[in-house]
Amino acid sequence: MKTKYIFTTLIFASVFSFAQSVKSLPPGGNKKAITAEQIGITDVTINYDRPGVKGREGKIYGTDIVHTGYENLGFGTSKAAPWRAGANENTTIEFSTHVKIEGKELAAGKYGFFVAYDANECTLIFSKNSTSWGSYFYDDKEDALRVKVKPVALDKSVERLKYEFMNQTDNSAVVALQWEKLSIPFKVEVDLVNTQLDNLRLALRNKDGFKWETTQHAASICLQNNTNLEEGLQWSNDAISFEKNFTTLTTNAGLLEKLGKKEKADSTMKAAYTIGSMTELHQYGRMLLSQKKNKEALEVFQLNAKKNPKQYTTYAGLTRGYSATGDYKTALVNAKAALASAPDDLNKKSVQSMIDKLQKGQDVN
């Protein structure tokens, strides 16, 4: 039995008991920390204690501080304990929704986080036990997930252990444990579309379900991601029942078209064009351009110009529409008209840039 581990644990237990009623610094001069960020709409929260290097450069990993693999710490029930990925109590990590860790599924919940360190490949352990002290009571039967990752050398030493969120996208991030000159990173991914829809289904069951904006938002996610189209159409119909406007009608038309109901989609779109404002029609045309629906976009810009003639916005729309279909000559005529009616220097500069491109035979979009 390792006496130093027993002695240290007894000190920790004493301080922990005292801390139930009086706030105090963590044992060993460590610092408590909470690192929390959202990945998509998923909350990721890490609670941990931050030990310092304290002049022990080169003596952290593969030593009694961060032991290699699994070790009998001389106290508690575990005879093969990994490192606790911090100091003092369990390091814990909590996910508000289901996630993937290094491509493997992990359910929503709070987990004890451990690392079986190795210089070449570390094993990261997410344990269902998130309440024990350190890893003295680690039990592999409580593992929810294990993944293996490569440790990465750092250029600069990190004095106090920390967790960083890096390489973030809409639906993923790399979470990295960093201490001394080593980083242990792991990728967390979320199903952004389905977590959004699950969240909206809950919202639609309370007072937000009686607002057109909420049902419209849910329907638009289905349309944009080409998923749950029938459910999206029902939400879209609900949105229209609350308020018939350009946004609710165009979303409805888009869902109808994806479901193969083209005739109804066309009639719904005509109704939307009738009530659409100049700005709404212009933005819709721009959206069609982004989808490479150039012919349809030009038709929208032409309709907008007919409804709102001799306006800067509609001249600019026609410029983009004709340019997208390759008619640079007509696009240039409209660009010059847009320049003459531009409301400020910023817009004039933007239009002049389009004119310069058109004169060189280049698309402005």
Instruction: Give the pLDDT score at 26.
Output: 57
Angle of helix 246-258 versus helix 262-275 axis, rounded to 10: 170
b/e burial code for range 3-31 (CB count within 10 A of at least 16 → b): eebeebbeebeeeeeeeeeeeeebbeebe
| 113 close to 127: Cβ distance less than 8 angstroms | yes
CB–CB of 282/313 below 8 Å? yes
Structural contact between residues 92 and 111, judged by C-beta atoms closer than 8 angstroms: yes
Question: What is residue 15's predicted lDDT score, i.e. its pLDDT?
Answer: 45
In this structure, are residues 248 and 216 in contact, taking their beta carbons and an 8 Å threshold? yes
- The two structure tokens encoding residue 254: 């888009």
pLDDT of residue 30: 74
Contact assessment for residue 147 and residue 186, using Cβ atoms and an 8 Å cutoff: yes
Residues 6+ apart with CB under 8 A from 207: none
**DSSP SS3 for 179:** strand
Which pLDDT does position 125 carry in this prediction? 98
- Backbone CA torsion sign across 144, 40, 240, 288: negative
Cβ atoms 128, 144 nearer than 8 A: yes
Contact 100, 106 (CB under 8 A): yes
Per-residue model confidence as pLDDT tens digits over 286-303: 999 999 999 999 999 999
**Distance between CA 222 and CA 154 in Å, rounded?**
42
Strands of the sheet with 172-189, listed across from one edge: 104-106, 99-101, 172-189, 152-166
How big is the CA angle at 258 (ends 255 and 260), to the nearest 5 degrees?
115
* In the chain, ranges of CATH 1.25.40 domains: 191-276
For 310-340, what is each residue's pLDDT tens digit? 999 999 999 999 999 999 999 999 999 999 9
Beta-bridge partner residues of 95 = 44, 109
In terms of Cβ atoms closer than 10 Å to its own Cβ (0-12, 13-18, 19+), residue 339 is buried
What per-residue confidence (pLDDT) applies to 27? 57
pLDDT for position 19: 44
With a cut of 70, list the residues of the chain below it in pLDDT.
1-29
CATH topology of domain 191-276: 1.25.40
Residue 211, Cβ density class (10 Å: 0-12 exposed, 13-18 middle, ≥19 buried): middle
pTM: 0.79
